[in-house]
Chains A and B, each alone.
Chain A
Amino acid sequence: MGILRPAGEYDTSYAADMATIRQPWQWGLLAVFLLALYTLPLYASQSTVSLVNRIGITIIAVQGLNLLTGYTGQISLGQAAFMTTGGYISALLVNNQGWPFLAALPVAALGAGVIGLIFGLPSLRVKGFYLAMATLAAQFIIPWFTRNAFPEVLNGAQGLNVNAPTILGMEFNNPQRYLYLTLSILIITTIVAYNVSRSRLGRAFVAIRDHDLAAELLGVNPFKYKLMAFFLAAVFAGVAGTLSAHNIRHLNSETFNLIDSVMYLGMLVIGGLGSNLGPIFGAVVVEILIELATIFGPFFIELFPSTAAGAVQALRPLFFGTTLMLFLIFEPRGLAHRWQLLKAAWRLRPFSH
């Protein structure tokens, strides 16, 4: 990965070879970028800050899915269901038990992880499309459970109102404040996802994705690593679900639905499967597309009087579906691949090869 380095310069230590950020100016760029994000509330409108919040939370969910689908190659249509699980656990702990948010978050993440592990069990017997069906079952059974089980606690289909999180006396009760929380957790999950993908664990995932029998012969236990991938994906989903529930302050069985699960998969493909930049590119592009649908919706009302107010709801799936199909046909490796090509072209400039 010695991209963006002049020829003839080599790493002189293993630490340098393993380093993620190789050049001092890259540290500078990163710092400027993070600073720009953290100071966003100072110069951006409230709706922009809300959008960035939503994108950040979506990125976390897609990062989890990337570990499972992108690196391990197991199709999951249940990511939103694990977000529901995490959201409910955290909402109950914070609202009813009075737990501090920072204690509830890891418990919710682990709880979602355990549920993810249970629905990952069929991966021991079936794979590919059959596994997608098993995770689809999670997408029906978990929301059903929240609608019907323990109505006195979970409040049925109405769902729960969720308190704003309080950390060290500070209440994160508006989008501007919440942004700090979202960004900080997003940085942690990005570091975790990145390091999982380049460690022994990530290499085992990739081995299973590329050829599970060959991986087994090389000493990678497919059962163990598949379950770990399911667990990790659900933990990320649990974190994202918790953050989202405390952000919109309300949660019911439809907050994270099948369409969301489909969209996360779509974001992953649009961004780039099995790449750490993929979830970030994909989530940003798709969330902005959806935002465009909200902006362009009113113009369509005049064109299609039959849909009236439904134009926005119609444009969202239309924009998303069309983008996804075009990417699948013309750029199946996603935006991350384009980005790599762009970087390589920059490095080799002025030569084309």
Chain B
Amino acid sequence: MNWQLIPQFSVTGLLAGGPLALTALGLVLIFKSTYIFNFAQGQLLLMGALLTWWLAVDIGIPLWLAIILAVFMSALIGFLIERLALRPMTGQPLLSIVLMTLGLSQVLQGLALLFFGGVQRNFPQIFSTANPYKITTPLYYNGNPIVLILKQNLVWSFVIAIVCVLLISAFFRFTNAGLAMRGASEDHELAQSLGLKIHRIFGLSWALAGVVASIGGVLLATSSGLDLSLSIVVLAAFPVVLLGGLESIPGTIVGGLLIGLSQGLVAASKVPMVRNMAEIMPYIVLLIVLIIRPEGLFGQKRIERV
């Protein structure tokens, strides 16, 4: 272990956990109300970022307007996906639904490649990359104080991501639509018999997931550039969701931060093999979660044991 690196890498890891939490939130939103785990969430993320890029750079409208338009378009895409692809699957076995979202991910990935090509693009910078924040910690190493360097774009992405998650939690907690969605997630038939329009709720969930995905996509693209591999970021968000609990919105924050932290800590190691483990760390955590506590930290203990 490089002990002097640990504070820096922990903080960087935690900051990276913010966008992870936001990505995971999209998955939780859909799962909570529809019991569908959306393997195409990464492609929704990619679509949001590509649409923003297209509007802002190719067409040339102001960036803030482009982001707002892209958010609306992503919401529409999410809504259409629910209506066209997943509505016919209501009541089908789990395997069919999993495969439907996997097939969807392939179609969206193919469309993205067909219309935008596989080249790396320069995404407009939203946050300044110069002048990182410096924080002097009270810790010392070899007589020198340890200074934490926080890149502005990471800090602001983190803040925006966490604010989004909190806003969505507030939406669920305080609005009528949120209440309806929570009700629907308890029991579909019961909710329907109480007069909730369950298909409208499903559509709303998917639209919200599209919104969250496009914001996440823009945040990730502005800090790490935009190409088609953006969609695989979501693969690190699957473990976040399972760690936090499939139905838990606060769980996404805790899960995101823990996964980010674990990646950061592993990256601080001196052994190259352990350092390289950063990329599979989410999945090692995932296996541990599945073995010890399959419902996750804040999930509902609804798993039917075999």
User: Chain A: residues with CB nearer than 8 A to chain B?
Assistant: 69, 73, 75, 122-130, 132-134, 136-137, 140-141, 144, 147-149, 212, 222, 258-259, 262, 265-266, 269, 273, 300, 304, 306-308, 310-311, 313-322, 324-325, 328-329, 332
Contacts and interface: CB of A to CB of B under 8 A. Distances in A.
**Tier of interface size on chain B:** 35 or more
Interface of B: 37, 85, 88-89, 92, 94-96, 98-100, 102-111, 113-118, 235, 238-239, 242, 273, 276-277, 279-280, 283-284, 286-287, 290-291, 294, 303-306
Given A140-B283, A306-B115, A325-B107, A132 B99 contact: no
Given A127-B306, A144-B279, A122 B113 contact: no
Contacts of A144: 276-277, 279-280
Contact of A328 (B103, B110, B305): B103
B134 to A, nearest CB: 34
Given A126-B290, A129-B37, A310-B118, A317 B96 contact: no
A136 B283 contact: yes
A144 B284 CA distance: 12
B306 A212 contact: yes
B107 A317 contact: yes
A222 B306 contact: yes
Contacts of B279: 140, 144
Contacts of B290: 122, 125-126, 130, 133-134
B107 A318 contact: yes
B60 to A, nearest CB: 17
B96 A269 contact: yes
Nearest to A304: B114
A321 B104 contact: yes
A69 B37 CA distance: 18
B159 to A, nearest CB: 30
6 contacts: A122-B291, A127-B306, A128-B94, A273-B95, A307-B113, A332-B96
B117 A308 contact: yes
Given A130-B242, A328-B92, 10 more contacts: A69-B95, A75-B94, A126-B294, A130-B290, A136-B283, A140-B279, A310-B117, A310-B118, A314-B113, A325-B104
A313 B118 contact: yes
Nearest to A308: B117
Contact of A262 (B102, B276, B294): B102
B150 to A, nearest CB: 29
A129 B98 contact: yes
B283 A137 contact: yes
B113 A310 contact: yes
Given A133-B242, A314-B110, A329-B88, A266 B95 contact: no
A307 B106 CA distance: 17
A265 B287 contact: no
A265 B99 contact: yes
Given A269-B96, A324-B99, A313 B113 contact: yes
Nearest to A273: B95
A336 to B, nearest CB: 16
Contact of A320 (B88, B106, B273): B106
B263 to A, nearest CB: 13
B100 to A, nearest CB: 5
A149 B277 CA distance: 11
A306 B116 contact: yes
B306 A328 contact: no
B111 A318 contact: yes
Contact of A317 (B99, B106, B242, B280): B106
B303 A126 contact: yes
A325 B294 contact: no
A269 B110 contact: no
Nearest to B294: A126
Contact of B99 (A141, A258, A315, A328): A328
A307 B107 contact: no
Given A311-B114, A325-B100, A148 B276 contact: yes
A269 B276 CA distance: 36
A325 B103 contact: yes
B275 to A, nearest CB: 10
Nearest to A148: B276
Contacts of B92: 328, 332
Contacts of B88: 329
B98 to A, nearest CB: 6
Contacts of A147: 276
A237 to B, nearest CB: 18
A269 B96 CA distance: 8
A233 B291 CA distance: 22
A96 B94 CA distance: 44
A318 B114 contact: yes
Contacts of A123: 306
A269 B277 CA distance: 34
